[in-house]
Amino acid sequence: MKDFCIIGSGISGATIANSLSKKYSLDVYDKARGVGGRSSNKKLNKNESFDHGVQYISPKSIQFKSFIKDLINKKILKKWTGNHIFLNDNKKEDKSHIKIIGKKGNNAISKYLLKNINCNFSSEVIKIANRKKVWEISFSDGSIKFYKSLILTCPFPQLKKLSKKYIKHSFINKKIKMDANITVMMTTKKSKLNVSSYFFNDKILGWAGNENSKMRFKSKNDLWTLQSTYSWANKEIIKNRDNNKLNTKTLIEQFFKLTGIKKTKVLFTLNHGWKYSSNSKPLRIKSYWNSSLNLGVCADWFVGPRLESGWISAQDLFNKINK
């Protein structure tokens, strides 16, 4: 029986797995088909892809800056330069903050951290149980696995559903509202536009990123990732599957309207709804560890909406485990 079962391969799961693997045996599980969680990279074909989750990293803390610098030196990450256009009058643009992206995709950090760790994808956890200090993990395919310790890195609503029986801390009873996001990946005919991204002042469309500008591939077409505002997605996310075509059309029309780009033929679209995208209101704790049950929780929603928040939470949990 292995020491740790870690649920989730996003920044929190990958960070805590990498740290623990130096001392303990462990497995990582994720219900998605690939690594990265909210930093997922969607392949259009062998070369072209979309960062349809986290758009870029802008490190704030000294520790995370050092971590990111190391990955840049190792050529895992790189700076995203170019013409980033800020159209939001309600927020002041911070000219000093740099934009860091994965050299091959924004799931690069998780891929790097999980490189030598056994990961199991398309593995959805439906139930957990602790019997005589052993964790029994039940999966949607009917399989059951056993571990000495369990770490969950899932969004708060999913965490509450799975583990409320075992978590006695007050945070589990809080009304944590995670914002949604609707992302549209779009391919259009090639243009001569020299723009890396747009940040909008709009009620519907919040962001647009030009994937070609990340210099990962050469394409005869333009690839754009469009991300909605939280407020619009919060209203639309429940019926996004049913209203997939309408929501996709709405975001695309807003894109051409707000940018002033001449509308051209749309060659490909894909709509992805993030029901639990992020939490903008930090909790008083950065992670949770119950040493009696060997149950831990780390996730970005403890600390804030940024990818860095998930890394901070995982580091905090690792320190608690090793006290």
**179-278: same fold as 2-55+108-175+283-321?**
no
Phi, psi of 110 (to 5 degrees): -60, -40
CATH number of 2-55+108-175+283-321: 3.50.50.60
pLDDT of residue 110: 98
Give the model confidence (pLDDT) of 7-39 as tens digits.
999 999 999 999 999 999 999 999 999 999 999
Contact 5, 118 (CB under 8 A): no
pLDDT over threshold 90, residue 108: yes
pTM (predicted TM-score): 0.95
**Looking at residue 323, what is its pLDDT?**
84
Per-residue confidence (pLDDT) for residue 192, from 0 to 100: 85
Give the tens place of pLDDT for each residue, 277-318.
Answer: 999 899 999 999 999 999 999 999 999 999 999 999 999 999
Coil, strand, or helix at residue 128?
Answer: strand
Of the chain, the percentage scoring pLDDT greater than 90 comes to 92
Name the residue type at position 10: G
Cα 68 from Cα 78, distance rounded (Å): 9
205-251 pLDDT, tens digit each = 999 999 999 999 999 999 999 999 999 999 999 999 999 999 999 99
Segment holding 12, helix H or strand E? helix 11-20
Amino acid 9: pLDDT: 98
Q: What are phi and psi of 193, to 5 degrees?
A: -70, 130
Burial class (CB in 10 A: 0-12, 13-18, 19+), 232: buried
**pLDDT tens, residue by residue, 137-156:** 999 999 999 999 999 999 99
pLDDT-wise least confident of 189-193, 198-202, 265-269, 271-275: 189-193
Dist. CA 130–CA 142, nearest whole Å: 18
What does the alpha-carbon distance between residue 315 and residue 310 come to, in Å, rounded to a whole number?
9
Using alpha carbons, select from 153, 120, 112, 154 the residue that is nearest to residue 2.
120
Distance CA 11, CA 22 (A): 17
Best CA proximity match to 56, nearest among 251, 307, 317, 322? 307
Confidence class of residue 82 from pLDDT cuts 50, 70 and 90?
very high
CATH number of 179-278: 3.90.660.10
Q: Which two tokens stand for residue 186?
A: 């779009």
C-beta neighbour count of 9 within 10 angstroms: 30
Report CA-CA distances (Å) from 262 to 201, 204, 228, 255, 284: 20, 20, 21, 10, 48
Secondary structure (3-state) at 104: coil
Among residues 4, 87, 100, the alpha carbon closest in space to that of 57 is found at 100
pLDDT tens readout for residues 254-264: 999 999 998 88
CA dist 67 and 277 (Å) reads 24
Q: 205 φ, ψ to 5°? A: -100, 125
Show me where the domains of the chain are located.
Answer: 2-55+108-175+283-321, 179-278
DSSP-derived letter for residue 57 is B
Instruction: Output the average pLDDT for the chain.
Output: 95
- For 41, 74, 152, 162, 180, the CA distances from 159, given in Å and listed in that order, are 24, 34, 7, 5, 17
